[in-house]
Amino acid sequence: MRPAPLLFVILCFAVLFAGPGRVGFTDVREARDAGVAREMIQRREPLTPVWVGDAWFEKPVLAYAPEILAASWSHGSAERSREVRAAMALALLLLTASIGARHFGARAGWCAAGVLVSMVALPLAARTDGTQVLGTLLGWAGAAGLADALFGRREGRDLRLVVAYGALGAALVTAGPLPALWPLGGLWLFATLARRPEALRDARIGAGACVMLGLAIPWYGAMIQRYGAPFVAHAPFFPYATEPRGAWYSGPLLALSFLVVGAYPWSALVPEAMLHAATWWRFSRRRDAGPRPAARARDAAPGDALGREAREESAAHFFIAMLVAALIPVALYPGPPLPAALPALPAAALLCGRLLDHAFEDAERLARSLRVAARMLAVTGTVLAIALAVVAPRIREAAPELRLLAAVVFGTSWLPALADVAGRRRAAAALFTLPVALGAPIVTARVLPEMEDYVNARSVALALNHTAPRQAPVAVLGAAAPSFRLYAKHNVVPVTDAGVALRTLTAADGHAYVAFTPAREGDIARSAGTPLEIVMRTPSLVLARVSPVNVAR
């Protein structure tokens, strides 16, 4: 096996496939998606996502297909579910490598895939947000088809466009309108900034829209007929339509910050990669710059080196437009999580892969870019390591593991800068992969198992299953954590009045079981009128029981 594919396989195993079953489903999105899939299977409901017995308008129905597949395969195993999502992430990586190889060369393609797999947001999305991984895969399948139609050979263009619009139509019923439409927004942005109006005509958007609507209308039409206005109000904001809305002016800042954090550690190199890719775009505005890259690409003869360079420059500009367009939905989503920035990261990875490919050809020509990025990574890595070291004493269960992670982040963040000082430019570029390549297995194998009680309620649910009689009701103050509902084999009853719940929700053993956050323990004790018998206490949830005869009336 050649070195590049071998290193890629090692990175994928360390980041995506190492220890997927060490902890149970985590709140909020992962456990809730698994719960929706379980209810759809139990109710034999093929069209409407269902959560706690009600229609759930968070995302389209096909978003739950991976969870339904994993649940059918392994009866609700978190390990199998994460392996399915990791396989989808691997498919996204291979697609990114294919796009890079097609437009920038094979080495650039492998570099782009290596960059993407060592960005923070990809393993995070693979562990917590499978919908975003699948939506990003389909969206980039569409973007790849559009890029091939613009910069590839004319032979087979129609077939490539059919595949592209078919993928975007599938994205409509998997992740929603915004994840399906941002590639078209990127195409429009590229055509406008590059002054190529014929790009919109070559993409045949009208016919493509018909393909997309033909795939999406059956499900959307059935849901509108069933639920009407409530469904229509949620649909534009899939796949995060149930989250509370933030201030509108925070959207652009959120999108930029998500890109910086999600692309870490490569966010230090992304600005330099964009400047490197925008060289001809910037110079083409000058009167004496000669023909623009797009014009030179169209007029070049086959095999002409200048034409190949122009096509590469024009493709780089296309991916800059795609990066910007992919961040626009983040600014529009209500309360998006960090994985919402995932669609922008393949574009950033492709731009970084192109720069790295040029660095391997002539490292000294790009010495300044690598030096600036390495120093920026050293600074941000130091800040992150200090933050982890400060937080560690406050989380006693995982303090040693967090200190280990801080040490790894600090050391790996400085290695590229030290390699650059030693004049090893290519080594400095390769060492950018280490913060995530070494940090992700530590988080998976050591940090999360010690912090499981902070990220889910599985231990409390298992304690309830072991202690309470079969089918005993359990009162939960406020909204029940999705992981508690998922693992508890009892009747979970959300309540607002603890006194009434303790008097009326009695199990066969004569006790009333109640779950609450640690901050509510004093209120529960006063409502009970007697000392609580604590069955299980965790940092996020407490399980107690009390005899109803002692409850204050």
Say if CB 490 and CB 472 are below 8 A apart. Answer: yes
Q: In sequence order, what DSSP letters do the residues of 260-273 get, joined into one string?
A: HHHTTTGGGTHHHH
Say if CB 516 and CB 476 are below 8 A apart. Answer: yes
Question: What is the mean pLDDT of each successive set of 10 residues along the chain, which is 553 residues long?
Answer: 79 93 92 95 94 96 94 85 96 97 94 97 95 98 93 82 96 97 97 90 94 97 97 96 85 94 97 81 41 46 56 92 97 93 98 94 91 97 97 95 98 97 94 97 95 95 94 91 94 89 88 93 85 92 83 53
Res 550: pLDDT: 57
CA dist 69 and 36 (Å) reads 13
Q: Which of 30, 437, 83 is nearest to 264 (CA)?
A: 437
CA dist 123 and 15 (Å) reads 6
CA dist 233 and 228 (Å) reads 9
Res 250: pLDDT: 87
Amino acid at 513: Y
Say if CB 366 and CB 276 are below 8 A apart. Answer: yes
CA dist 216 and 165 (Å) reads 12
